[in-house]
Chains A and B, each alone.
Chain A
Amino acid sequence: MMPFNYARARDPADAVRLAAGRTEARFLGGGTNLVDLMRESVEVPKTLIDVTELSQEITARDDGSLLIGAGVKNTTIAADRRVRERFPLLARAILSGASGQIRNMATVGGNIMQRTRCYYFYDESARCNKRTPGAGCDAIDGFNRIHAILGASPACVATHPSDMCVALAALDASVHTVSATGHRTLKLADLHRLPGDTPHIETELAPGELITAVGIPPCSFATRSVYRKVRDRASYAFALVSVAAALDLTDNGTVRDVRIALGGVAHKPWRAEKAEAALRGGQATEASFQLAADAELKEARGLRHNAFKIELARRTLVACLAELSRRDEK
C-alpha cells in the first residue's frame, strides 16, 4: 500500500471540502473493497477521507418511500423492519452478498462504488483498460467465466459485483450526492456506466462527488418480490447471475406492473426494461416469461467461458417470475 493521509470528515460538506482539488483522494466507507484494492495497488489514493460515520439514518416517509443514508451499514438495512416489510428483495439481495462480517462493515455508498472482480483487473501484470486506459483487455480471451454478457465492449467485459445495487435498480432507486457544485439526484440505474471506450470511468459521479443517500420510491408490489442469486458455491461467492424481480398482477392474472434487474451480467446493475415492457399488460404465463427473457437477452453475447450465463440468466429469470406469479395466486 502506498502511504496516504487519513482524514475523518465531520459532515458531508467537510468531506467535499477535504476532497476538493485532490484527484487522488478517495472516500472511505467500510473499506471492504477499497482497502483490498489498495493492498493490490489497484487503488493508490494519496488521501482517504473517512465518511463512515456520516449519513447514518434510514428515514421512512408515509408514502412508503425510504431514504437510506450512505453511511448505513449493509446489515442495518437488511435488519430494518421497514426494508424487510416494504422491500424484501432489497433485504434479500444484501443478505446474499459477502459474509456477515463484511455486511457489518460495508456501507451503502461503498457498496455502490465497489469495483469489478475481474481477475485481470486485479492482476498488475495483466493488460486492463480500467487500470491503464488503452492498455487492452486480457479478459476477453482469457478466463471470462464471471464476465459480462450484456452491454460489454471490446475494451472491457467486466461486471459490477454488487447484489444490493441489483435490487436498488429494480426499485427505481435514486442516488443523492453532494459536491463542490452542490447537491444533485440521479437514478441508480443511470449512475453506473457501460464500459464503451472508457471502462476506467465507471460512474457518472464527478471526482470529489460524495454519495449521501439512496432514495427508494414507494412500490406497493415490492412486497411480492424475489432476489435469487446463482453462484459457484452455496454461500460467500459473487453472483454468476442474479435476478431481482417484483410482480404486480391483477386478479385475472394480467401483469399490471413488473420490475426486473439482473446482476452479474453487465458492467452495471442491469435493469431489464425490455423484459418488463414485454410483460406489462400481458398474461403472466410461463410462455410470456420466456418471451420476456428472450427479449431481454436477445442482445446478450457470450465469450469463451461465460456463454452459459445467457441460458442461466434466461432460466433464472423465468423461474423467478413463475415463482412470483404462483405466490400471487390466492
Chain B
Amino acid sequence: MSVSHKSVGFQARKSTAGVAGGKPDAEHPVGEPLARVDGPLKVRGKARFAAEFALENLTYAALSYSTIAKGRIASINADEAKAAPGVLLVLTHENVSRLSPPPLFPEGAAGSTLPVMQDASIHWNGEPVALVIAESQEQADRAARLIRVTYEPEIAAIEFETVRAKAKAPKNILGEPTCIAIGDAEAALAQAPVRIDNIYRTPRHNHCAIELHALTAAWEGDALTVHDSTQMVHLTQKTLAKVFGVAEQKVRVLAPFVGGAFGNKSIWNHQILAIAAARMVGRPVRLVLSREGVFRETGGRTLTEQRVALGANADGTLAALIHTGIAGMTAHNDCPEQFTFPARHLYAAQTFLLSQKVAELNIVANTFMRAPGEAVGTFALECAMDELAEALNLDPIELRRLLEPDKDPVSGLPFSQRSLIEAYRRGAERFGWQNRSPVPGARSEGEWLIGQGVATATYPYHRFPGGVAKIRLSADGQATVQMGVHEMGMGTATVQAQYAAELLALPVECVTFEYGDSSLPSGVVAGGSCQSASIIAAVNAACEALFDELLKLVGHKSPLTGLIRTDVEAYRGGIRHRRDTDRFQSYVAILNQAGKDVLECEAPASEPSEAKRYSMHSYGAQFCEVRVNTVTGETRVSRWLASFDTGRILNARTAASQFRGGIIMGIGLALTEETFFDERTGRIMNPSLAEYHVPVHLDVPQIEVMWNGSPDPQSPYGVRGIGEIGITGAGAAIANAIYNATGRRIRELPITLDRLL
C-alpha cells in the first residue's frame, strides 16, 4: 500500500503580514494574533481531507436509503444493481456480517445505539438499507439507484403534535437534573405584578459542514486504517474496534483535517457499512456521502417547544423564572437539547422551575450541534428578558444588571469568574447602545425599518477527562507536543503551539503540535468547547513530567544540580531557578550533557474537578442592528458587535474568527435555517444546500468582536473555550432587534419574511 500514515504536525511560523496589534511578542507567544500554522497548506489546497488519500486498488461506495420511517424491509431486489458494470458488492441486511451495536457518546462515538443494518427493521426515513461497492463512484452511484426495496410499513411517530402528549422526563439531562424546582414558581408567577409567559419554537437544523462526511478505509489482515472526517479520533477507534470485534490497537483513525464538523462528525451508519464492505471485498473503500445523504443519515439539531415565564416584582427583580419545554428525540440516543441550561445559571430569581421533557420520534437520531441547548435555549430566554424589560419600562441591559446573581442561582456555587455586566457595559459603549430608541419603529430609511437588539450569550465551561499529552524535546532545541485532538478550523494546532512555546519558553517556531491521529496519546473529542482547556491541562502535566526528567538528567556539574521542579521555571529555551535566576541551563545543554538526542515525557491531565467546586461559564453580550423591509418583510443584519467574557484568549486572530463563525451560524438560526421534515412521511424535504439556507456572504455584515480576556482562576491557564458561545444569544438579539424595528414579537424561528408581512 502506497500510503504514508504520518501524523500531521505543524511548526508555527511567524507571519507579521496583516497582523493587528503589531509585532509578535517573542517571550510571550500566547495571545498573539499568530497566523494559522496550517494556513499555507489550506490556501493551496494541499491540506488533505479524509476522501483525499489515494490508495491502490481503491473501490468506491454509495448508499441507498429507506423511504419509510418505520417498519420492515419486505424484500430487497439487488439483482440489477449486482449485474451493473463495475459493481463488486451490494451490502444489505441479508449479507452483512454480525456487527456489535456501536457505543453511544460519550462511551463511544456513535450518534445512536441502534444496530447497523443487522435485520430488516427500519427506524427512520432515510436509514441506509444498502451499500454498493464498485470500481468507480459513477458506477456505485448508479447501482445504488437500481436497488428495489419493498417495505411493510408500520405506524410511525413522526408528528410532533401527536407525540407531544406522550413526552416524558428523561432520567437526567446530560448528567444534570431533569427538573429543578426552587420554591413554588407557578404560584410566585401568578402573584407577580409583571408577568411574561410565552411559547417559543425552534425548528430542526442541520450542521451543513461544507466537507461532506467521508472516509477512506483499508484493512490489512485484522488491522484497520481509517481516514475519517471525525471530531473524535479515539472514540471512533474505540467504537470501530467494538463494532468489528478487533483490538483497539488494531484500529487507527486519522483526521488531520476536518472540513467543519459543528457536532455532526461522529460515527453514523456509513462508516460502519463501508468498513464492513471493505473487509468483504478485500480492498480499500472510499465513501463520500452525498449532500442528501448527510441530511438523511446523520443527525441534526432537533426541534424544541419552550415556555418561558417570568414573574417580576415592581422593582424589576424576578419572583419567578420558569423555563420548560419539549424537544424531539429518539429512543436510541441521548441528546435532549438542553435548552433549560442557560436559565440555571444566568439570573437571580426567588423561585425557579426549570424542567424539560423529550418526545420520542422515529427520526434520524438528533445530535449535538454548535451549542446544543444553549443556542435555542437562549433564543427563548433572552427574547423573554427583552419582553420583560419592556413591560417594566427598563432598558434591557439595566434589567440584566438588576438580575445579576452573586453566586450560581441554582447550585449556590461561587462563580469562578464572571464579568457579564462588564461585558454589557463595554459592548454598549462600543456599539452606541445609548442612542437606541426603546420605542419600536422609531427609525427608518426608505422602505427599511431599523432596529437594535441585545441578548446575553452564555456557554458552560467544559474540560473532558481522559486526555494525555506527550512532549518530545530534542537536542536541536525543537519540541513536539502530541495529543489525539482535532483541528476543524478552531485553530487548535496554532494556539497549542503558542501555548507550549510559552510553557517551555521556546520560540514558537521551535514547537510542533501533532494531533488528529488515534496513534497519538489519548485526546478528547472536539466538542463542548472543551479542547483548549483539556489539552492545556494534559500539556501542563506532560511538562511537569518533562521538567522532573530534565532535572534528573542535569548531573552534578549543572547550575541546576540539586533543584526540584518547584524550584525552577522555564526561561529562554531552558530552565532557571525561580529566585536565583542566574542558575540557568538550556534544554539543549542538558540533553547534550546527558548524551541524549531526545527526551519524551507523557502524562495524563489532572481530573477536571474544578467545575464541581465552582460555577464555571462563559458570557457575552450580543448587540445587533437589523433592517426590516416594510414592503417585503425581508430582514437584513446590518451591524453586529459582540462583547465576550470567555477567559483568557490564546490567539486574537483565530479567536475572533471562532466568535464570528458562531455568530454567523446564529444569523442563520435566526433568519433562514430550517430542515423541512414532512410529518406525513418523516422525510426531510430540503436535503440540499440550495434549499436549506445557510447564510451567504451577502447575509453577513462586518462583525466586531471584543473580549476582556480575564483569565478564569480555576481553569487551566485561565481558558474557558470559545467555539460555541458565539451562536448563543444571537437568535434572540436578532429577534429583539426586529421587535425594536417593527413592534412585532416573533417567537418562532426562523424569522422568514412571511412572519413579518
Contacts and interface: CB of A to CB of B under 8 A. Distances in A.
Interface of A: 1-3, 39, 41, 117, 119-120, 122-126, 138, 141-143, 145, 230, 232-238, 240, 308, 311-312, 315-316, 319
B678 A117 contact: no
A279 B585 CA distance: 91
Contacts of B159: none
A2 B144 CA distance: 11
Contact of B142 (A3, A117, A125): A3
The interface centre, meaning the residue of B631, B636, B676 with most chain A CB atoms within 10 A of its CB, is B631
Nearest to A98: B690
Contacts of A138: 678, 680
Interface string B400-426: 000000000000000000000000000
A230 B632 contact: yes
Contacts of B165: none
A308 B680 contact: no
Interface stretch (B106-114, B260-268, B740-748, B749-757): B749-757
Given A138-B678, A230-B753, A236-B698, 14 more contacts: A41-B145, A119-B676, A142-B680, A142-B685, A143-B676, A143-B678, A232-B752, A233-B671, A233-B696, A238-B690, A311-B757, A312-B632, A312-B633, A312-B757
A141 B753 CA distance: 21
B101 interface: no
A120 B685 contact: yes
30 contacts: A1-B138, A1-B141, A1-B142, A2-B142, A3-B85, A3-B142, A41-B145, A119-B676, A124-B67, A125-B125, A126-B681, A138-B678, A138-B680, A143-B676, A230-B632, A230-B634, A232-B672, A232-B693, A232-B752, A233-B671, A233-B672, A235-B699, A236-B698, A237-B690, A308-B753, A308-B757, A312-B633, A316-B631, A316-B632, A319-B632
A55 B623 CA distance: 53
B757 A315 contact: yes
B695 interface: yes
A130 to B, nearest CB: 16
A240 B629 CA distance: 15
B676 A236 contact: no
A315 B676 contact: no
Contacts of B184: none
A233 B691 CA distance: 11
Contacts of B67: 124-125
A235 B753 contact: no
The SS class assigned to the B binding surface is: loop
B672 A123 contact: no
B683 interface: yes
A311 B752 CA distance: 15
The SS class assigned to the A binding surface is: loop
Nearest to B700: A234
B683 A235 contact: no
Contacts of A230: 632, 634, 753
B753 A312 contact: yes
A232 B753 contact: yes
Contact of A319 (B85, B631, B680, B681): B631
Contacts of B672: 232-233
10 nearest A-B residue pairs (beta carbon): A125-B67, A308-B754, A234-B698, A235-B698, A119-B685, A319-B631, A230-B632, A143-B676, A234-B699, A236-B696
B225 interface: no
A41 B676 CA distance: 21
B757 A117 contact: no
B626 to A, nearest CB: 12
Interface string B644-683: 0000000000000000000000000001100010101101
Contact of A125 (B141, B681, B686, B693): B681
A315 B680 contact: no
Contacts of A125: 67, 125, 681, 683
B154 interface: no
A117 B693 contact: no
Contacts of A126: 681, 683, 685
Nearest to A2: B142
Given A230-B632, A230-B634, A142 B757 contact: no
Contacts of B79: none
Contacts of B680: 138, 141-142
Contacts of A237: 690, 693
